[in-house]
Amino acid sequence: MHWFQYEDGRLLCEDVPLQNAAEEYGTPLFVYSQATIERHIHTIDGAFNDVDHLTCYSVKANANRALLKILTDYGLGADIVSGGELFRALRAGIPANRIVYSGVGKTDQEIQFALESGILALNVESESELRAINRIAGNMNKKAPVSFRINPDVDPKTHPYTSTGLKKNKFGIPHSEALKVYKEASAMSNITIVGIDAHIGSQLIDVSPYREATELLVKLVNEICELGIDLKFIDIGGGLGIKYGDEEPPDPSQWAHMIIPALKKTGCKLIIEPGRSLIGNAGILLTRVLYIKTNGIKTFVIVDAAMNDLFRPSLYGSYHDILPVTDTNEEKQIVDVVGPICESGDFIAKDRIISMPKEGDLLAIMSAGAYGMSMSSNYNSRPRAAEVLINRDTMKMVGRRETYDDLIGRETD
Ligand code: LLP
């Protein structure tokens, strides 16, 4: 569900024709719909209203300050994976006691920053990390609140690069070692154990793996309780899938249904860490067709957005719908939609049937709100795109386009 729709042949974001956005801010341009974000907050956070819970938005999906501000205004917290994300979350006004910190490679400086800030929990992913946290907290005369991220060895049935809860993945602590680390942590003077955590993968279309993972966590909670350790939180991570093409993603209530029955037996507060499901369909990437060329076997639609703006197609072979900003009656053709970058891997779509655009036309690359801007780069010295937020009939630039000076600003001769 999103607020990008046609009216009289023109594609609108809420009440604003996308053509106007392109004219005012140029292309490539990320366009976000506030109504869509708000709707997703209500449906996702609301699906868990039956239980005491905290929704921690996964900042890696899109770290734009204006979007973080909307999410925190609705009471959401943040799931972070770096000192940079912690900095952004705090700057956006997300209270530290609503921030959880995952990641297999937290540095001493990052751990110290998290402890100074007073975050809710560090989701610890190894015994070595636990010892580092205990040492750093000791030096600071603090007690560090920790949860352990457990690797449940559950198959999320998603892209191999976005599976995180299988034994062969680098994430978490094997569930067979969980009791050992909880015992070890309970004997440490600068650690307070607060919870247990898992994140099994991203873009899940089948929600049944959540049931498996939650049941495993709940079993561990009981065993940990027998050691005399009471847990406050069960964090089940993020990963709910969205619609990019013809997949039929589950409703957030189906997600909740997989988690809540097992969880209720524990009395723990639930933490969820959705990213893509909150923001993915709330954003598009607007691009202009520069040239069209054919070489006898293929037609290439060359646009001004590239893999540095939206890396997902190149990296995962991901599908993003491509819609004309002005609906045409042009015949459909099979084309490759490609960017200007010097790599054959620089494509937005391959062998895609689209209404044939003309040079100068605008195209909307759909579902680009999550893992679009946040995975963008300056490859080929391309300045990053601008970002605008639309709220009904108003447009606000929430990220200016980078300049050539920005490209060299950090460097010295
Ligand atoms: N929690 C943790 C610990 C995570 O690692 C992630 C995503 C999330 C929550 C949020 O997952 P979501 O609800 O957004 O699925 N770049 C890939 C996605 C990588 C996801 C990494 N972790 C893509 O473009 O599909």
162 CB near ligand 1 (under 6 Å):
yes
The confidence score (pLDDT) of residue 179 equals 97
Predicted pLDDT of residue 395: 98
Cα(129)–Cα(376) distance, integer angstroms: 29
Task: Residue 192: name the closest of 121, 266, 140 by CA.
Answer: 121
Q: What is the pLDDT of residue 153?
A: 86
Q: Is residue 376 lining ligand 1, measured as CB closer than 6 Å?
A: no
Ligand 1 centre distance from Cα of residue 149 (Å): 15
Residue of the CA atom closest to atom 7 of ligand 1: 202
Residue 81 Cα to ligand 1 middle (Å): 10
Q: Identify which of 182, 189, 187, 174 has the alpha carbon closest to the alpha carbon of residue 231.
A: 182
Q: Which atom of ligand 1 is nearest to the CA of 278?
A: 13
3-state secondary structure of 134: helix
Q: Model pTM?
A: 0.97
* pLDDT value of residue 171: 87
Residue 202 near ligand 1, beta carbon < 6 Å: yes
Pairing of strands 283-294, 29-33: antiparallel
Distance 109 CA to ligand 1 centre (A): 24
Residue 294 burial (CB < 10 Å; 0-12/13-18/19+)?
Answer: exposed
User: Which residue has a Cα nearest atom 9 of ligand 1?
Assistant: 238
φ, ψ for residue 59 (rounded to 5)? -60, -25
| Measured distance CA(327)–CA(140) in Å, rounded | 61
Are 80 and 99 within 8 A, CB to CB? yes
Q: Distances in Å between the alpha carbon of 372 and those of 199, 280, 327, 384?
A: 21, 9, 24, 11
Compute the distance from residue 239 Cα to the ligand 1 centre, in Å: 6
Is the minimum distance from the CB of 103 to ligand 1 under 6 angstroms?
no
Looking at the CA of residue 274, tell me the nearest atom of ligand 1.
Answer: 13
Which tokens go with 273?
């860490």
CB atoms within 10 A of CB 406: 13
In this predicted structure, what is the pLDDT of residue 329?
79
Q: Mean pLDDT by 10-residue block, N- to C-terminus, for the chain (413 residues)?
A: 94 98 98 98 97 98 98 98 98 98 97 98 97 98 98 82 77 93 98 97 94 96 96 97 95 97 94 98 98 96 98 97 91 96 97 96 98 98 98 98 97 95
Domains, the chain, with CATH or none: 4-32+280-408 (2.40.37.10), 95-274 (3.20.20.10)
CA atoms within 13 A on the CB side of 118: 4
* Paired tokens of 344: 């054959």
Given this model, what pLDDT does residue 56 score?
A: 98
Closest residue to atom 23 of ligand 1, CA basis: 371
Mutate to test the pocket of ligand 1, among 58, 166, 375 (most ligand atoms within 8 A of CB): 58
Give residue 220's pLDDT: 97
Tell me how far the alpha carbon of residue 201 lies from the centroid of ligand 1, in angstroms. 7
Helices then strands (H, E): number in the chain? 12, 21
What token pair was written down for 136?
């750093």
342 is catalytic: yes
Contact 2, 281 (CB under 8 A): yes
- According to the model, what pLDDT value does residue 158 have? 79
For atom 16 of ligand 1, which residue has the closest CA? Answer: 371
**Of the listed 13, 225, 268, 342, which one is catalytic?**
342
Instruction: Compute the distance from residue 61 Cα to the ligand 1 centre, in Å.
Output: 7
Greatest extent of the chain over all pairs of C-alpha atoms, in Å: 72
Q: Which residue has the tokens 């929600």?
A: 207
Nearest ligand 1 atom, CA 241 = 15
**33 DSSP β-pair partners:** 390
The residues, ordered by sequence, that sit 6+ positions from 371 with a Cβ below 8 Å of its Cβ are 60, 61, 62, 275, 276, 280, 311, 312
Supply angle C-alpha 263, 120, 389, rounded to 5: 95
Contacts of 128 (CB under 8 A, 6+ apart): none
